[in-house]
A and B are shown apart, each in its own frame.
Chain A
């Protein structure tokens, strides 16, 4: 079966702009969670969506938001980009019932200049 698809793979944006990243989970999986990876802070949880509802949110400013569609595809948006938002953004797919492993996408590498 197809894996987790994240688009785009690479993105360069200017400070102050906004960006939207997309994640298509494994077919049948209803949960999508997002993570930010930076050299300084490591892997940090952003938020998790299940059946179009945000169930959990990490400690990130309100500039970071997300949503999930009825087909389980998810988008995350970052507004008013800052240099510190440069990171690898990873999404993870799971059935959503908890207790199992997660399948990650290859990530979107965002560079803010």
Chain B
């Protein structure tokens, strides 16, 4: 079963705007990762945040992690049409061997 939920399920914005997606999970984790998927193709790893980290940046991406609330957020700044995709959070559970538990995903549409 899926680890948790993501919201919103869908997000539609204009180019240049920021997009924020949220993810909740249920168990103790080693790390939380975000992936992008374009049109039912493979997943692309975006960023990983460890359980002892609170915030991480990579280019236009900013990820936060609140382990007390078991939640994370992904912020994409200055969105581009090319950012249109589905975004998934995935948790790597404590004690688990290379087993990712995925959220349901957020479908992001960025309009030119």
Q: Which residues of A contact B (CB under 8 A)?
A: 4, 31, 33, 35, 37, 41-45, 48, 50, 55-56, 58-59, 88, 90, 92, 94, 96, 98-107, 109
Within 8 A of A (CB), among B7-60: 30-31, 33, 35, 40-45, 48, 50
Q: Is the CB of B101 within 8 A of A45?
A: yes
Beyond A37-B40, A41-B2, 17 additional contacts (C-beta under 8 Å) are: A33-B99, A42-B102, A42-B105, A44-B1, A45-B100, A45-B101, A48-B98, A56-B99, A90-B43, A92-B98, A98-B30, A99-B50, A101-B45, A102-B98, A103-B45, A104-B45, A107-B42
Q: Is the interface of A mostly helix, strand, loop or mixed?
A: strand
Q: Which of the listed residues B30, B31, B43 has the most CB atoms from chain A within 10 Å of its own CB?
A: B43
A4, A55, A104, A105: which contacts B98 (Cβ < 8 A)?
A55
Q: How large is the interface on B (under 10, 10 to 19, 20 to 34, 35 or more residues)?
A: 20 to 34
- Are A98 and B97 neighbours in the complex by a CB distance under 8 Å? yes
Smallest Cβ distance from A62 to chain B, in angstroms? Answer: 19
Q: Is B98 a contact partner of A94 (Cβ separation < 8 A)? A: yes
The residue of chain B having its C-beta at the shortest distance from the C-beta of A58 within the complex is B99
Residues of A within 8 A of B42 (CB): 4, 90, 104-107
The reply to whether B98 and A33 form a contact with Cβ atoms under 8 Å apart is yes
- Which of A41, A101, A104, A106 contacts B48 (CB under 8 A)? A101
User: B33's contact among A56, A101, A109, by CB below 8 Å, is which?
Assistant: A101
Residue in A33, A44, A102, A106 with the greatest tally of chain B CB atoms within 10 Å: A102
Tell me if B96 counts as interface (CB < 8 A to partner A).
yes
What are 24 A-to-B residue pairs whose CB atoms are below 8 Å?
A: A4-B42, A33-B100, A41-B2, A43-B90, A43-B100, A43-B102, A43-B105, A48-B97, A48-B98, A48-B99, A50-B98, A90-B43, A96-B98, A98-B30, A98-B92, A98-B97, A99-B92, A101-B33, A102-B43, A102-B45, A102-B100, A104-B44, A104-B45, A109-B40
